[in-house]
């Protein structure tokens, strides 16, 4: 990956105004299997070195991190809370945050929760959470969902708005930006509650949703129990709110239906 990145960046001669770094090995189990690859891919050392080669520091680096930097032992983590990740994926993302903040002057690190929304124009090669739940419940078969893991899923269009707002702020002002933001929706939800939202909107029988503990399933990786996040800083810094989970699910399913009609 670093060789490819080096080659690609060497072919870019003009300094960009903004770089949004979404590149990651983001499957926690894959990170457990190959920690070396996780660190090499998730810590953007080549990118930061290239950006630093421009003497004026005129590029804003917007870096996508994760809520899995938190330990998961309480609700509504704040940005200043200690990062104590329980798996390799989380540790690699903490390492990335530390590397960026120590080696680059203008950055916005976004600790994102589960991202959900309509399928992209070029479909992503993995199942999307709302679409997967919809397809499972549509079959009419009972399905187990975790009741004891909590996140604050963020609607994709909110995330795009955040990136766009930061980009415009940087381009219009060029004042130093060093931001760390929790990026999530306003709702703390379990997988059960996520599935229930889908079922309510689509009219599925709620009895199909069977709550189980996450401890009953061996996923090959430890997962934090509660990494819900306080998004007060996001709201105050960017003067915006994020979409309630049920509203986002409704928008997602409406978009999916429109794309197939």
Q: What is the pTM of this model?
A: 0.94
pLDDT of residue 2: 43
Residue 15 has pLDDT above 50, yes or no: yes
pLDDT bucket at 59, cuts 50 / 70 / 90: very high
pLDDT of residue 9: 65
Instruction: State mean pLDDT over 164-188.
Output: 96
Number of H helices, E strands in the chain: 10, 10
CATH number, residue 231: 3.40.50.720
pLDDT bucket at 238, cuts 50 / 70 / 90: very high
Which two three-digit tokens encode residue 221? 């990786």
Instruction: State mean pLDDT over 160-174.
Output: 95
pLDDT in tens, 181-222: 999 999 999 999 999 999 999 999 999 999 999 999 998 999
The residues, ordered by sequence, that sit 6+ positions from 84 with a Cβ below 8 Å of its Cβ are 70, 71
Structurally, the chain folds into a number of domains equal to: 1
**14: helix, strand or coil:** coil
pLDDT of residue 4: 44
What does the mean pLDDT of the chain come to?
94
Residue 22 has pLDDT above 80, yes or no: yes
pLDDT bucket at 55, cuts 50 / 70 / 90: confident
| CB of 4 closer than 8 Å to CB of 47 | no
Domain range for 63: 2-260
């Amino acid at each position: 990956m670093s060789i490819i990145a080096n080659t690609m960046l060497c072919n870019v001669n003009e300094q960009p105004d903004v770089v949004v770094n979404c590149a990651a090995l983001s499957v926690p189990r894959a990170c457990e299997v190959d920690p070396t690859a996780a660190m090499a891919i998730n810590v953007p050392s080549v990118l930061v070195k290239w950006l630093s080669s421009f003497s004026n520091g005129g590029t804003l680096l917007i870096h996508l991190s994760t809520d899995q930097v938190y330990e998961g032992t309480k609700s509504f983590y704040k940005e200043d809370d200690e990062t104590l990740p329980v798996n390799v994926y989380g540790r690699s993302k903490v390492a990335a945050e530390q590397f960026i903040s120590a080696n680059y002057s203008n950055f916005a690190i976004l600790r994102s929760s589960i991202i959900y929304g309509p399928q992209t124009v070029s479909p992503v090669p993995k199942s999307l959470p709302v679409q997967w739940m919809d397809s499972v419940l549509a079959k009419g078969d009972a399905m187990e969902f975790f009741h004891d893991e909590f996140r604050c899923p963020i609607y994709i269009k909110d995330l795009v708005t955040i990136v766009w707002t930061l980009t415009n702020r940087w381009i219009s002002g060029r004042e130093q930006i060093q931001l760390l933001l929790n990026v999530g929706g306003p709702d703390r939800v379990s997988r059960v509650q996520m599935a229930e939202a889908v079922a309510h909107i689509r009219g599925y029988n709620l009895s199909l949703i069977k709550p189980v503990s996450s401890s009953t399933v061996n996923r090959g990786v430890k997962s934090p129990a509660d990494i819900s996040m306080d998004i007060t800083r996001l709201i105050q810094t960017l003067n915006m709110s994020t979409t309630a989970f049920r509203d986002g699910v409704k928008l997602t399913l409406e978009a999916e239906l429109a794309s197939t009609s």
